[in-house]
Structures are given as C-alpha cells and as structure tokens.
Amino acid sequence: MTLTRVVSTLQFFRIVRPVPRLMRGTFAVVTVASALRLLLSPAGVGQTVLPVLLLQTFAVSTGFMGYARRGHFDLLFTRGAGRVQVAAIYWLLSALPGIVSWLALAVLEILWHRSMLLTSSGTLAVVLCVSMLPWALSVPLPRFSGATGWLLALVMTVTLTPVGTGGYGLWQTQHGEPWWWSAIAFLLFPGRLVGQSVIVEGPAPIAVLALVIAIMAGAFAWVWLSDLPLEMGQ
C-alpha cells in the first residue's frame, strides 16, 4: 500500500461517498438530539450514545463485495489499488460519521458534566464492536444485512428466552452471572458496557473483542481470496 494509492483511493471516496447523504444527515439529527438530552440532565449519560451506536451498525453494514462485483471499484482496481486496501479505507470511511458523533458527545460530556463515561474503556470497546462486526458480517451479503441480522438475534433472544433463564439480564450486568452469559449478552447488546471498565467486567468483553477482531480478519481474507465476477447492476 503506497501513499499515492491511498491518496487516490481517498479522492475516489470523496466523490463516491461510502455513507449516503441521508445517513450522514441522520447522524447529525441523532447527535443533536442526544446532545440536547445530555445537556438537560446528568442522569443516564451513557444512554445518550445508544442511538448513535444503533445507527452506526447500519452505516457500516455496507455489503462491500456486492458493490465490488457490480464494478463500483473497478477504477481503483485498474489503477493498482489492492482489494484489502480499498476495503479497509471503505470500512474506515463508513465508520467515520458514527465515530465523529460519539466523539462530539464525549467532548460535550467532559465539558458540561465533568465526567468521562463516554470515553471509558467499556464505551471504547462498544464503539469498536459496532463499527467492526456489522461491516464484517455484511461483506459477502447485501447492504444492511449485518445490522438487520444482529438486531434480529437481539430481539429473538429477548422475546424467546424463557423468563428466568437469562434474557431479563441482557441490558445490564447482573451480579453473579456466569462469564459465558456476559460474553453472549455483550455480543448481542454491547451497549451494556457503555460507561463501564473492561477490566472490571472480567474476561467476557475481552473474549468478545477477540472474536470480533477474528471475524474482521476473516472478512478481509474473504475480500482478498474471493473471485469478482461482474454482476449486472441493480
């Protein structure tokens, strides 16, 4: 990956934006609404970032290979840009609006409330998780499929888990719950870690982050090794 190729790839995506204008506008609206909530009340600071995190799952569920097969990146590929390079920059730019929104809320919290819940290690882990996992899952699938599948798994767990067997504790850490349930709960609903410390929560968040990174690596391997037969544009 040479600097020239990186610059040309960035210039390409400055014109062909990975995140549509409507999605960027939605991020702005959600961030302003969350900021107003943050200014009006010091209670529930961690909750203010949850709408941004939810929107982020959809923003990064780009369905990269589908666009690649339809020839969207042929100009970059013919200029010598590698698939993994293009995919990595595409992912970073897809995640950028959500990251900017989170940082804006975190700075507002520090300045207004003099607290740092939105910059805790747990919150950082959540931002990484929602910025990576939906993108990785949707690489070989249509756009938004990663976020849709994730939300479906969350809703099914909450609604179909028998009462008293775990679903009730999905939203926040319960005292004495087994580490494997903490890992599953964090994977399904990372927001339970907002404002928390990864170290305090034990091995579960670390295990989930390791799994997410492994899935992300597998997605890049898929991009690198897959054939790219052109498909008819839809």
Enclosing domain of residue 143: 3-225
230 located within any domain? no
Helices and strands (H and E) in the chain: how many? 10, 0
33 located within any domain? yes
Scanning the structure block, which residue is given the tokens 């590929």? 77
18 located within any domain? yes
57 located within any domain? yes
pLDDT score for 41: 83
Whole-model pTM? 0.89
Per-residue model confidence as pLDDT tens digits over 75-102 = 888 888 889 999 999 999 999 999 999 9
- Reference 24, options 73, 123, 94, 104; nearest CA is 94
19 located within any domain? yes
**H helices present in 49-197, as ranges:** 50-59, 64-69, 74-78, 83-113, 121-138, 145-160, 179-188
DSSP 182: H
114 located within any domain? yes
Chain-centroid distance of CA 156 in Å reads: 20
Single-letter code of the amino acid located at 175 = H
233 located within any domain? no
pLDDT score for 234: 45
pLDDT score for 197: 85
36 located within any domain? yes
DSSP 178: -
Number of domains in the chain: 1
pLDDT score for 174: 62
pLDDT-flagged residues of the chain (< 70): 1, 160-177, 201, 229-234
